[in-house]
Structure 1
C-alpha cells in the first residue's frame, strides 16, 4: 500500500493538537509538513503549539512553516480565548526555543513546493482559517490539479454558527479566503462542518477515559484541557451555542483528519455545490449548501453528514497510545 502523504494547515488550538496527534499516530502516513496560520491564537503561538505537539509525539523532524498572520482582506477580527490565551489552555510554560525550529520558508511557498515535489499524491488538510490556501492558489492557479484531495474543517450546512448566528469560526475569520478556496480548489474536496462535528460528539465519560491513561499524549491532552472552559462540564450551559446539539466532547478538527485517513469513517456525504457568503452583517462567512446546484457549478464538494463513531473512536484511542 502506498504511503499516504499529508500537509496539515493549522491554527493550532486544542482541537487541532488532537487532530495532528491522530495523523501522527496513523500507520503508513507521512506528514510532509505542518503549515501555520492565525486563528485560535496569533501565528507565533500557533508555531509554538505545533512544536509542543510534535515534541510530545517525538516527531520534531517534521518541518513546520510559519504562514499568514491576518486575513486576506480583513477586517481583522479579535482573537478569541475559546482554547485559552495561547490556544492550548494557557497552562504550558512559554519558551522561545521553538523559533529556532521553524523553517525559514514561508508556509505558502512550502505548500506549493511540497505539492510540486509530489504531484497527485498529497492530501491537504485545513484545520483553521483558509488564508494560506487562498494565497497558494493565487500564486499557482494550477495547484488544485496537483493535489490528491482537500479536507477542510469549517463552514456550516444548516445556517447555524458559533461565531455569528450563521457563520462558523474558521470561515468567518477569513471569509474571502474561504470563498476563494471553495471556488478555486477543484480537486476532490471534503468538508467537515461545525454542525456535523457537533452532531457526532462523544460523551464526557469517554473523554475522561482517554485523558486518564498513563501515556504522554493522554497526560498532555489532560493538562491542556484542565483549565480550559471549553472542556468544562459547565460549557454546555444555556448561553453556549453547542447546547443546540446536546452535551458532550467534540474533537472538531479530528473529524477532518480521520476522514482523510480512512474514508469509511464517513458513512454519508452530500455531494453538492457550496459557496461562502462574503457580504452582510450576519451572513458573512456562512457556507451555502446548494443541493440543487442552482449556482450551476461544475465542481461539487462532499459535505459530511454522518460518521461511524465506533471507527472514529478507535482512531482516537490509537492516537492516545503514543508513549
Structure 2
C-alpha cells in the first residue's frame, strides 16, 4: 500500500459495506477523509446521513463534516433496499446517535467547493448512486477536471446483475446520473474513473472466518463465529463494542445472502473500492468506453463497455478486472482490528 496521504471525498449511501469502507478509511494511515457526502440509495438520505454522523462520532472524528445529498434520483422514483441492509441501513447494529447535525451545505455544493479549494488534489470515491456528483457537474461542468482521481463502485460487465438480470444496484438506482458522470470524465483533462464492478467485487466475500480473525486480532472475547444454523437476529455478546457492532451488522448481511442462495457470506464491494481509491496499484484495469442503457424496457440501468472500438470513441474509464483478494482482506481486517483496539 502507498504511504502517501490521499485526500478522499467519500460519497455514500450507508449501508453495511459502506460502513466498512468508512471505518477502513478512518483508520488507514494513508487516508485523509476530507468530507462525507450522503445520498439516498440503500436507505433514504436522512438515514444515510444519520449513519454517517453516528459512525464518525463513534470513531472520534466529529471534525469531519457530513453533507446531506440528493433525496432521490434525477428522473426515476427512489428504490431502497432495507431487505439487504436492514431498516436503518446497518443490519442489526444499534449505533449511538450523534450529537451534531449535518452541514447546511448540500453534497453537490460540497463537490464543487472542495474541488475548487484543492484543485488537482482530491480523490473522489462514490460507493452509492452517482446522483450528487451528477448534480454537481450540472452546476459546474469543469468539476471533473479538478479531481485527481475518481473511483466508482458500480456496474457490471458481461456478468449477471444484482438488481435486475443485467444491472448493478448503484447504477440501477439512478441510471441518468451514472450516464452523465461517465460522459463527463475521461475527456478534456478529466481523469478516467476506475470502476469497481460486480465481476470483481463479488469475489470480495466477507465470511464468518473473517469475523473470527477480526475478533482474535482485536482481543474480543468470546470469539464468535456466526453460522447459517443460528436464529435470524441473534445479537453479538462479544466484549469489544466495535467488533460487536460489526458482527451485528454483518450477520444481517450474511443472512440476506444466504436467504438468496449465495452462501452464508457478504459481498463487501465498498471497502474494496476504498482500497482502490487509496492505491490503484492493487488492481489490474482495462480501458473502455463505458455508458449506461437508459431506454431499454428490459435493460434499463445496464452498464455497457466498448473495449474494441465499435463506437469510435476514446476510452473514458478503466474497469478494474483483477486483484489479490486475500491481500485485500489482510489489509481490511488489520485496519478494523486497529480501530477496534483503539475504541474498545
What corresponds to 2:300 in structure 1?
284
- Offset, 1:211: 4.7
Q: Is the 8 A contact 2:159 2:199 kept in 1?
A: no
* Long gaps (5+) in structure 1: none
Match of 1:198 in 2: 202
- Matched residue of 2:7: which SS? strand
1:69 to 68, 71, 95: 71
Match of 2:143 in 1: 143
Residue 157 of structure 1 corresponds to which residue in structure 2? 157
Kindly tell me the number of residue pairs found equivalent between the two proteins: 312
Q: Deviations over 1:186-239 (max 9, x none)?
A: 32310110221112334431233225643543232113234x1x213x7335x4
Q: 1:8 aligns with which of 2, 7, 10?
A: 10
Q: Which residue of 2 aligns with 1:217?
A: 242
Structure 2 runs not aligned, ≥5 long: 221-239
Is the contact made by 2:68 and 2:103 (CA closer than 8 Å) also made in structure 1? yes
Aligned residue in 2 for 1:249 = 266
**What is the DSSP-based 3-state SS (H/G/I as helix, E as strand, rest coil) of the residue aligned with 1:81?**
helix
In the other structure, the counterpart of 1:169 is 169
Shift of 1:247: 6.1
Is residue 41–residue 78 contact of structure 2 (8 Å, CA) maintained in 1? no
- Between stretches 115-124 and 284-293, larger displacement belongs to 284-293
Post-superposition Cα deviations, 1:53-76, rounded to whole Å, max 9, x if no partner, equal 112221111110001000001133
Cα 1:305/1:73, change in 2 over 3 Å: same
Q: Confirm whether residue 82 of structure 1 aligns to residue 84 of structure 2.
A: yes
Aligned to 1:272: 288
1:317 aligns with 2:328: no
Counterpart in the other structure of 1:50? 52
For residue 294 of structure 1, report the CA deviation from its aligned partner.
1.4
| Partner-residue secondary structure (3-state), 2:202 | helix
Q: Distance in 1 between matches of 2:109 and 2:159?
A: 34
Task: Point out the more displaced range, 305-314 or 114-123.
Answer: 305-314
**Looking at CA atoms only, which structure, 1 or 2, has the larger radius of gyration?**
2
CA contact (8 A) 1:152 1:190 kept: yes
CA distance in 2, matches of 1:188, 1:218: 37
**Structure-1 separation of matches of 2:159 and 2:266:** 22
Partners of 2:160 and 2:308 lie apart in 1 by 20
Which TM-score applies when normalising by structure 2? 0.85
2:235 matched residue in structure 1: none
- Determine the C-alpha separation between the residues in 2 that align with 1:301 and 1:247: 33
Give the alignment's Cα RMSD to 1 decimal. Answer: 2.0
Match of 2:258 among 228, 232, 236: 236
Change (3 A) 1:193 1:48: same
In the superposition, relative to structure 1, how do residues 157 and 31 fare at CA in structure 2: closer, same or farther (>3 Å)?
same
SS at match of 1:112: helix
Give the drift of 1:140. Answer: 0.6
Distance 1:181 1:80 in 2: 26
